[in-house]
Every structure is written in C-alpha cells, then in structure tokens.
C-alpha cells in the first residue's frame, strides 16, 4: 500500500524521488521525519486534477440564480422513484433557447420539514462543479417542488 501511495505522490509532484526512506544497514531508526510540504506549494497543489470537485468560497445566495420556471420544462416518462417522490425525464428550454434533456426530481408529500430536506440536496449541488457529479440545472420552489438536473443517458 505504501508503494502505491508513494507512486501516486510521485505522479502528482512530477518527481522521480521516493517519499519512502528505507533505513540503511546497521542503522536502527530514522532520526527525523521528512518535512511536511507547505500548503499552496506546487508539490501540494491539486489544480487541474480531476479527482477534486471545485467548491467556490462565495457565500452569496444563489437561489435566484438557480430558480427556473415550470413553463420551461416539459415532463416525460417516469424514470423511477426516489426517497421523496418520482423522478421524470424531461426537456428544459434554457433562456438562450437551447433544449436540454433533464431529470426532474419531484417531492410528493412536501410538508415544510420534508421540503427543507428535499431542497438541501439542491443546496449542496449548487456549489459543485465536477465532470463526475451530476450538475444542477435549476430548482422550482413553488409547490409542487422540483429539482432539475442534467440527465445521464445510462446512469442513475
């Protein structure tokens, strides 16, 4: 396992030097551990890596930014049922006129408490931008509440 981690660190740091220090013959223990790289140094930077999701620092309220009109969505067939309700496929017409295939999560028994839990998923998704995470298209907070996200052709 240590060799696997060492190899990964070599790739990330673009270095041929191993982080593993093996004791020399006749020497029992290492006197000092290697220094920990400082945050922000090029050897620790994860910029350009596709294994991290970008989460912006901004705390601004983005609910208006992600609010969309129900009139811009045409629901299709039911894809399945989630914890809160049915999930439909659909087509969303963006403000630019582009038609986007989407998945629409619905909330069937949407009391105030259930609505808060349902929308907490959308709140998390608002700040995520990663190629391996489904993107949030928008939210309709007026009953019936919908979360609209990109549709994965062969996924869940």
Torsion over CA: 126, 117, 143, 155 (sign)? positive
How many Cα atoms within 13 Å fall on the side-chain side of residue 67? Answer: 6
Distance CA 150, CA 147 (A): 10
Q: Look-up: residue for tokens 């811009």? A: 72
C-alpha distances out from residue 62 to 66, 101, 123, 143, Å: 6, 23, 9, 19
> Do 110 and 119 contact (CB within 8 A), yes or no?
no
Does the annotation list 105 as a binding residue?
Answer: yes
In what order do the strands lie in the sheet containing 73-81? 73-81, 86-93, 99-106, 146-150, 136-140
Binding residues: 105
Binding residues for ATP: 105
């Amino acid at each position: 396992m240590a060799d696997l981690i060492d190899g990964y660190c070599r790739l990330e740091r673009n270095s041929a030097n191993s982080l593993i220090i093996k004791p020399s013959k006749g020497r029992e223990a290492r006197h000092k551990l290697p220094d920990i790289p400082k945050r922000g140094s090029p050897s620790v930077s994860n910029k350009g890596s596709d294994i991290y999701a970008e989460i912006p620092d901004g705390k601004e309220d983005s609910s208006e930014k992600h609010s969309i009109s129900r009139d811009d969505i045409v629901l299709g067939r039911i894809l399945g049922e989630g914890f809160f309700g049915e999930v439909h496929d659909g087509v969303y017409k963006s403000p630019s006129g582009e038609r986007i295939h989407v998945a629409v999560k619905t909330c069937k028994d949407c009391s105030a408490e259930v609505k808060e839990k349902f929308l907490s998923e959308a709140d998390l998704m608002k700040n995520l931008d990663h190629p391996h995470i489904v993107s949030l298209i928008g939210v309709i907070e007026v009953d019936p509440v919908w979360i609209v996200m990109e549709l994965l052709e062969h996924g869940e």
